[in-house]
Structure 1
């Protein structure tokens, strides 16, 4: 490990960083571009294809049949003469056609040519691929109905760390301007890094030696305007995107250097109406039994988003046999997000009076008048001021060497990747009080009348709205800071050796390799809390031991704000500046880990994963199988995993070790804990392509695959309590989780039109997933057998009896099955309409998995998180001379997810949505062009509801449409 760090340090100090020509499949070598379009050495630039073909011709002792496959791809790519969207479509079709695996490809006509805010938007144009929109932007990717925790992601063949705090990748971290190609692997093969039960996404950056000219420069500048920002107090409507990419070739085209930067600055804008969840209990409401919800929220989200991505690369190829490269990618994303509005809370608290209730079809109250008496009763219309500002960063880089000699091909890669995420997460609440300013202010009586409107914005009114805009009545009840801090780091090495077999009638090559990865994940939770919600909890005395009453609000720290547009007519509120209110009273927030908030210690900790894989794979190329050619691969991967977590266990009774918290308090009630396990899997895989004609082929794939458990659910930390002589543990996480294993099958048919001008494909797939991670409570759990120490009962002198264990476990899995069809065609009409093209795809997915939920009231069942039964996209594009235009739409039907915007994450149903985008460009000269773009043309909101009842509103969020206008310069 010391040697690895020194090599990386030397490489970075020497400027050997950023973006090599290392492709998505980490173990394929240069001779196999046809067998696996995204393999190492496969060019993603048509200008480089003739060189590959020439090199294949010169290697006369190699695999002649396999070279023919390479030459077919190279010849097809080099023959593409169209420009714009037509070129990108035709290149993508060729990569898919000549690949060994079932895959779909996104590739731009030029570097920086993807018309998207991030690579996530581009991926949603592929069959069976959809995205969850967070703050209006595509972020987490779903493939074939499975969420991001089931998806493996690589950049230039290197496994990517995550900024999400879990396994799934937030793809809005990756600017589309810096990604040269993205491949979605639907089927697996032995050389792919494990982790892709839903699929594997391989992103690639450009190799400067494949650039069309010796010096290449692309500069893009665009200004943006958001249509929703004018409705949000303090939001700025304007933003911009700037990108520049340069590639140069030197020393007789043996040395390539590339640099790139992309920056985005735009408003963070959202207006949301939130209905909160039920506790699943029946209440007596107006003389009948019914279900009540916690409350409702209205909030304006403002702020700014700034993302900066940087790449650079150096590739040295002194001979035809040897290539050495160093590269890195860096992206930082700062999202300054503030939320202001109000939150009606505790509708189902005892003593609340409900009149004129309205019930939904399942007996849950969706409207009525709710009144509280104030005092110690915790029903209130809270004024809220939240801060969700998040700083994230991703670095991925390393060194790569490729050596091709005669029939031998060697690939080696050493890499370092890390990600960080820091969300400040501030929750501020204020309420109307009598005797504000005294030591014992009293919550005022309040009343709210509301009516949910399902997937539309409901109505809300207050009996006395002046209470919430009069600073003589309004006092700050609570100011809480709850940072979420994550660090994710990977050190990896992979190598493979491939041997061509020209004399075999069935096999074209044998390949073997190893993969080593040390993965470290750290989670840090902290807290600072002043006061209490509704001001009714006098047990919070603060660090100094004094009572923390509601604080008066100075006029300089509050601004009257009213709603506009779709939300107009809702009650006005005060936009609060929480830090300024504290400062006016001589207070400063300092979040720390503390025993007073012991969950901050329990939910902090470290998880370590050690991956040790090896694989063996044979490439298949049989020329006469029942009169037709059969290609593909067969192999296995042996994956050995060690996982363990370090955390703190609450043992009590002074049975721990001395630990001092962030407030300087020392306790003996906690002890360090290390728990983990090892496992190993044999993962066979088979990929076959049967070539019926020159333009028709059928594919079959089968494999065993696995995805590692969500890393945040493997923390060891736990709290405890003692009851009736039994020791009970809570925490909800477990380092003893098994991976998510699955067996999968695919069968597809593909027809390709002449000259790569289009395709028609259709296929079915089946996945048998053995388990899913869920929460569970075990009774009489054997803690000692699991490596969890049990403290001594002072009454007996023996360990406490085994009690409850609230943890995570591998619940029974289920099946996921579906079909996918796609159609793409250009050159449909002659003459001026020759540049017209269309791309469409549709996926239908179902699953036997269902999850019970009581968040909507009575128990109902929702589907597998991330699964939309129907996913479709369509695009019409046109290239004619200097003009290009594209109109696209992405549709997904309803699906379940836990990204509900609320006080805590909640599993809800997202309603179906269709998002339309448009882009047009015109090249004024060979160097200068203009571009116009509109994203989310119809201002499509995200809409959620609880359970299976669409009348039970979850969240309705409007983000606005974004318009871009800019110029492009090419050299």
Structure 2
């Protein structure tokens, strides 16, 4: 699909896909009454593997749907689930893609796959994700679980708690996502399973020297043993090797945008910037990025994952479980960039959209070819010991100890070559200028058309002759959680009170990171010429951005490691001896939490049976954050004025903060009929800011000039790289859910919710005390803080799941599932540079240049539709997902606003069961090559688009 096709065609395709999946559900409505009857016996075949008193036992996709419905029905809270009793039956390539089929959940897509999860229109930071009931670390610096680290083949249950209950202890404003693996004794039988999947990427096949092929192999073993007097012992082991690729074609603008004065044009420099006050006084403006970049990417991605569980039951009163998980992921990403590095220079002939972004203009910029090799290694290690003891029939004691650690190291080696009035041989270039004229035209599509002066041939290696820069960047992140928990449950025989729960939890989380840069600028023309000639490589991809009309499709590229070798004599100079910087973070968070909860249920002979729970949890959070700022020396000039110079060392900044929150909760379920439930929930919830948002570093920007009357005058501004004083986002929540369980395969549910937030996030200027040159000075610092404003979100969730058992064979194997979520919110997130700024001392708010964003991850409309067919050995499934546009913040905080445009994807899955032990599967992902498009810092202002291409998987599974 080319970007210039009409929106009508695109919307029509979306409507057609949705109608295709929803039509069977509409047809089913007159048959609901019939369908409430017991299921007819299916034809004899592999689907019916055994008969029990409860009816027919099914396998495969239908078994997963039935187990998920049963799990939802059995819970006290408002829950949605994707669950299977079998290993490897979660119907998705990744955990993230599986979660996005659950009601109210949607994903953010990276590299063509599902990654972080948003619940009910609320971003990942408002959700709490756990693995086997425990918080899990990640390498991104936020609190979201990196679902790509865990193979879906080794996950058995995914539960989303929409409402909270006290024994969850922490929970989240949006909900809690719980991933679970099997307990071997509960599995109850021996199972050896091996699965192999080959995958093909058309996009990667276009890369020179690559066939676009990859693979993943999974093997698992579950068994149980009788130990005589020592009781029972169970073991479950699983291993997966995933060797694949993630190609990407993209165009991007920088992550920093400024507001320029639209009344002035500067042809020999950058556009003059305006202040928020000038805009408030009526000065027209336009938005401009620092740079514009075309990027071609090819990637090799490998992951080894190992899961294990040991379960020992010495006697019926004691159950001991030990589980562990390990994941080691590495990828190498080859990037070739064509960079217009001066995006704010000589902007003329402007056409400005009313929102402030440019739809057409001309400019001048140095043009760079940048070749990069990015290597990332990420290791996850987690596990825990859980002990459950029943000293009496009424009392159950549980203790849990867990550990989770993620380490991510990313090394980027890049080499830049830039334009110059002369080529590498000293000849005058056709333009005879370092800066090349170009034009920018946004047009009607999302992809801008950039036309470079035709006199400059971007494919000519000779023209990239100057300002060679060799750069090595390394960033390292380590996140560790050590936690312990103790719970007690006492049961009762009373007519209402059924059990009393109480518990305490302690968790210590540490987050450390650093960013290191080694940069060498080459100023030897002869050396630059020799390296240029030695390291040339052809453009690495056919049909680069062929889906975009008017895009640049190739340019001169070089081998980055060759350029390192030519200029430095080594392919890797290593990091600096001192890797500290003001961007480094050192955060320790300690959490003490306790709860008490009572569960109740009336007897079945009352007119309207009721069940539920009520409880209170208390959470204390203490944060200690150590940050750095560049040490400054005060130099006195001969005339008595002063100037500031960096000493080359750092001063440490330590900021501490502590909060205590009380979180009451209540859940009630009215059993209107045996198959009709009405649930209500009210609770207070909290979501703590990401660890990477709690940095205490301070970036000091000195004022222009060399003579000042005071230290305060010599500093232009100080910006924080985090805000340790950020407090949890609090909300009161009200939920209701009506659930109709037609039969084991069919469900209708409608849920409504309302959340009121006490405070959002806003940039503020607050005074902080600094010691500079032995003098204490107070200087305002720009950072993010909690606002006092109230905001709210309300929404609706509809779920329809139905199998058409009433249709004549063979159509009785048809089924469908449709989930629709609507949300409405008035939350405000201000841009850190261009939004409102509040001064808490003066009480003055400076109006923002651009409007605020909503909640991070907030999408007004989300649709997930599935149509499936399972009959005998055949299983077919079509999955459609749509998500309307949303704001997505950057990990680490204190960044500008970024929006992701609405997107939809369509996937296909099929499998055939040759024998009870052998099956073949086929999957196609993103078959319409839907791009991901982002804007910044206002909607409509294109910042980036990504093309990933479709991917295809062919697999075989053997069970013994």
Asked if residue 329 in structure 1 is aligned to residue 325 in structure 2, the reply is yes
Q: CA deviation at 1:573?
A: 1.0
User: Which residue is 2:437 aligned to?
Assistant: 447
Greater alpha carbon shift after TM alignment, 436-445 vs 807-816 = 436-445
User: Which residue is 2:22 aligned to?
Assistant: none
Change (3 A) 1:286 1:419: closer
2:760 to 768, 772, 778: 772
SS in 2 for 1:272: strand
Q: 2 CA distance for matches of 1:693 and 1:289?
A: 64
User: Which residue is 2:799 aligned to?
Assistant: 822
2:947 to 954, 958, 967: 958
1:566 to 547, 560, 577: 547
Q: CA deviation at 1:299?
A: 1.3
Q: 1 CA distance for matches of 2:772 and 2:351?
A: 54
Q: 1 CA distance for matches of 2:526 and 2:697?
A: 30
Asked if residue 88 in structure 1 is aligned to residue 64 in structure 2, the reply is yes
Contact kept? 1:232, 1:301, Cα under 8 Å: no
Q: 2 CA distance for matches of 1:773 and 1:388?
A: 34
Asked if residue 496 in structure 1 is aligned to residue 487 in structure 2, the reply is yes
Contact kept? 1:337, 1:388, Cα under 8 Å: yes
Change (3 A) 1:434 1:646: same
Q: 2 CA distance for matches of 1:551 and 1:636?
A: 71
SS in 2 for 1:862: coil
User: Which residue is 1:343 aligned to?
Assistant: 339
Asked if residue 691 in structure 1 is aligned to residue 671 in structure 2, the reply is yes
Q: 2 CA distance for matches of 1:77 and 1:388?
A: 58
1:246 to 206, 213, 221: 221
Q: CA deviation at 1:445?
A: 4.0
SS in 1 for 2:442: strand
Greater alpha carbon shift after TM alignment, 231-240 vs 761-770 = 231-240
Q: CA deviation at 1:888?
A: 0.9
1:577 to 541, 550, 559: 559
Contact kept? 1:654, 1:667, Cα under 8 Å: no
Asked if residue 429 in structure 1 is aligned to residue 452 in structure 2, the reply is no
SS in 2 for 1:524: strand
- What CA deviation, in whole Å up to 9, does each residue of 1:548-567 have, x standing for no partner? 99675333422232751325
Q: CA deviation at 1:752?
A: 0.8
Asked if residue 392 in structure 1 is aligned to residue 387 in structure 2, the reply is no
Q: 2 CA distance for matches of 1:495 and 1:78?
A: 37
Greater alpha carbon shift after TM alignment, 559-568 vs 195-204 = 559-568
Change (3 A) 1:749 1:305: same
2:168 to 185, 189, 192: 192
- What CA deviation, in whole Å up to 9, does each residue of 1:412-461 have, x standing for no partner? 11111101112224454321224567999996341223322455433333
Q: 1 CA distance for matches of 2:347 and 2:581?
A: 40
Change (3 A) 1:554 1:77: farther
Q: 1 CA distance for matches of 2:897 and 2:471?
A: 24
1:712 to 687, 692, 698: 692
User: How does 1:257-656 map onto structure 2 within 5 Å?
Assistant: 257-275=235-253, 278-284=257-263, 291=286, 293-294=288-289, 295-349=291-345, 352=346, 354-355=348-349, 357-362=350-355, 364-371=357-364, 379-404=365-390, 405-434=392-421, 444-453=434-443, 455-464=445-454, 467-475=457-465, 477-502=468-493, 504-531=494-521, 553-561=531-539, 564=543, 565-567=546-548, 570=552, 572-588=554-570, 589-590=572-573, 592=575, 600-623=580-603, 627-653=607-633
User: How does 1:73-112 map onto structure 2 within 5 Å?
Assistant: 79=55, 81-108=57-84, 110-112=86-88
Q: 2 CA distance for matches of 1:80 and 1:956?
A: 49
2:110 to 99, 109, 134: 134
Q: CA deviation at 1:290?
A: 5.9
Asked if residue 872 in structure 1 is aligned to residue 863 in structure 2, the reply is yes
SS in 1 for 2:262: strand
Q: 2 CA distance for matches of 1:793 and 1:317?
A: 66
The number of residues matched between the two structures is: 845
Greater alpha carbon shift after TM alignment, 547-556 vs 689-698 = 547-556
Contact kept? 2:760, 2:790, Cα under 8 Å: yes
Q: CA deviation at 1:830?
A: 4.2
Please report the RMSD computed on the Cα atoms of aligned residues, expressed in angstroms.
3.2
Change (3 A) 1:782 1:851: closer
Contact kept? 1:725, 1:800, Cα under 8 Å: no
Contact kept? 2:634, 2:772, Cα under 8 Å: no
Contact kept? 1:283, 1:291, Cα under 8 Å: yes
Change (3 A) 1:889 1:782: same
Q: 2 CA distance for matches of 1:366 and 1:402?
A: 64
Q: CA deviation at 1:100?
A: 0.8
Q: 2 CA distance for matches of 1:439 and 1:76?
A: 86
Greater alpha carbon shift after TM alignment, 799-808 vs 76-85 = 76-85
Q: 1 CA distance for matches of 2:194 and 2:81?
A: 25
Q: CA deviation at 1:184?
A: 0.6
Change (3 A) 1:578 1:631: same
Change (3 A) 1:671 1:202: same
Tell me the TM-score normalised to structure 2 length. Answer: 0.82
- What CA deviation, in whole Å up to 9, does each residue of 1:49-79 have, x standing for no partner? xxxxxxxxxxxxxxxxxxxxxxxxxx99965
Asked if residue 741 in structure 1 is aligned to residue 727 in structure 2, the reply is no
Q: 2 CA distance for matches of 1:623 and 1:814?
A: 41
User: How does 1:917-936 map onto structure 2 within 5 Å?
Assistant: 917-936=907-926
Change (3 A) 1:460 1:654: closer
Q: CA deviation at 1:843?
A: 0.5
Q: 2 CA distance for matches of 1:548 and 1:644?
A: 52
Q: CA deviation at 1:362?
A: 3.9
Greater alpha carbon shift after TM alignment, 575-584 vs 623-632 = 623-632
- What CA deviation, in whole Å up to 9, does each residue of 1:30-66 have, x standing for no partner? xxxxxxxxxxxxxxxxxxxxxxxxxxxxxxxxxxxxx
Contact kept? 1:505, 1:623, Cα under 8 Å: yes
Contact kept? 1:291, 1:858, Cα under 8 Å: no
Change (3 A) 1:458 1:193: same
- What CA deviation, in whole Å up to 9, does each residue of 1:808-832 have, x standing for no partner? 3113452111111101111342432
Q: 2 CA distance for matches of 1:882 and 1:520?
A: 50
Q: 2 CA distance for matches of 1:343 and 1:958?
A: 18
SS in 2 for 1:806: strand
Contact kept? 1:838, 1:875, Cα under 8 Å: yes
Change (3 A) 1:720 1:548: farther
SS in 2 for 1:834: helix
Q: CA deviation at 1:275?
A: 4.5
- What CA deviation, in whole Å up to 9, does each residue of 1:102-122 have, x standing for no partner? 111011362112232211100
- What CA deviation, in whole Å up to 9, does each residue of 1:199-240 have, x standing for no partner? 111100011112252x21111111111122233455541111
Query: Which sections of structure 1, spanning at least 5 residues, go unmatched?
Result: 1-74, 372-378, 536-545, 656-665, 784-789
- What CA deviation, in whole Å up to 9, does each residue of 1:734-765 have, x standing for no partner? 322212222111011111113x2211111111
User: Which residue is 1:33 aligned to?
Assistant: none
Change (3 A) 1:693 1:90: same
Q: 2 CA distance for matches of 1:774 and 1:551?
A: 50
Q: CA deviation at 1:838?
A: 1.1
User: Which residue is 2:6 aligned to?
Assistant: none
Contact kept? 1:233, 1:300, Cα under 8 Å: no
Query: Which sections of structure 2, spanning at least 5 residues, go unmatched?
Result: 1-50, 267-282, 636-645, 703-707, 836-847
User: Which residue is 2:657 aligned to?
Assistant: 677
Q: 1 CA distance for matches of 2:612 and 2:184?
A: 30
